[in-house]
Amino acid sequence: MTPLRPIAPANGAAALREVQIVVIAKEPLSGTVKTRLCPPLTSAEAAAVAASSLADTLDVVVRSDCRARVVAFEGFPDGWIPSGFIVVPQRQGGFGERLDGAIVDAWERTDRPVLLIGMDTPQVRVADLECAAAALLSPGVDTILGPADDGGYWLIGTRQPVPGMFAEVPMSTDRTAFCQRQRLDSLGLSSTQIHGLRDVDTIDDAYAVADLVPRSTFAATLRACVNAAMEPSRV
C-alpha cells in the first residue's frame, strides 16, 4: 500500500481543511426511502423526512471548512444538491461496493483523505466532522469509524482508498461496525473510533434525533408529518 502522507494538524479545524467530505445519498422519492417510518407516516411523508435529513446534512457539510465536498448520489440530483458539491453517481452493486466506489471516485478528483457519511444523521455538527478529521490525521492512523447506535456506523474515514476495504462486511446489521473494524484489522490498517451518533431508521429514532436538533429542518418536517398523521381523517 502507498505510504501515508505525513499530516498532523494541530486541531480539528485545521484537520478539516485537509480532508474531503463525501456524502452517500439517494434521491428521497416516495416509497423508496425511510420505509420503516411507515406507519405512522405515509410513504410521501417519509420521503419528506428523508429529504429534510439530506438537506440538513448537506447544510452542515457546506458550513464545514473542508478541502472538497462530494455527494455520491443515487437518482437525479437536480433540486436536491446545493452548489459547491461535486456530484458523482453511485456505482452499481451492494452497499459495500457503493461505499468503496464513492471513496475511489472522490479520490480520483481530489487525492486527499476522505470522511464518508450518510444522509441519516441530520444532527451531525461541524464539530463532529472536525473531531473525525483530527482523529483520521493523527500520526499512525489509517482509518477511523464513527459507530451508530444500531450497530452500524455513521462515518468511516480513510487516508486513501484501500482495495477490499468493505469486502465481506455485512451491511445494515447490528454487527456491521464490529465486522468493519475486523476487516480493517485484517488488512493491516491502524484504525481508531470516535463518538457515536444515532441513525434515523425508525420513528423512535426520528423522535430522538429531532429532540437533539429541535430547530432543524428535519425536526420541523417531522413535526408537520406527525401532526398530519394524527388527523382524524387518517385514522
- Of the CA atoms within 13 Å of residue 153, those in its CB half-sphere come to 29
Q: Is 142 helix (H, G, I), strand (E, B) or coil?
A: coil
pLDDT, position 11: 85
Residue ranges of domains in the chain: 12-228
pLDDT, position 7: 46
How confident is the prediction along the chain (235 residues), in pLDDT tens digits per residue?
444 444 445 589 999 999 999 999 999 999 999 999 999 999 999 999 999 999 999 999 999 999 999 999 999 999 999 999 999 999 999 999 999 999 999 999 999 999 999 999 999 999 999 999 999 999 999 999 999 999 999 999 999 999 999 999 999 999 999 999 999 999 999 999 999 999 999 999 999 999 999 999 999 999 999 988 776 554 4
pLDDT, position 233: 52
pLDDT, position 68: 97
Predicted TM-score (pTM) of this structure: 0.93
State the pairing for strand pair 68-74/86-89. parallel
Indicate the helix (H) or strand (E) that contains 181. helix 176-186
pLDDT, position 220: 98
Q: For residues 182, 183, 187 and 192, what is the CA-based torsion angle, rounded to 10 degrees?
A: -60
Domain at 12-228: CATH code:
3.90.550.10
d(CA 61, CA 231): 36
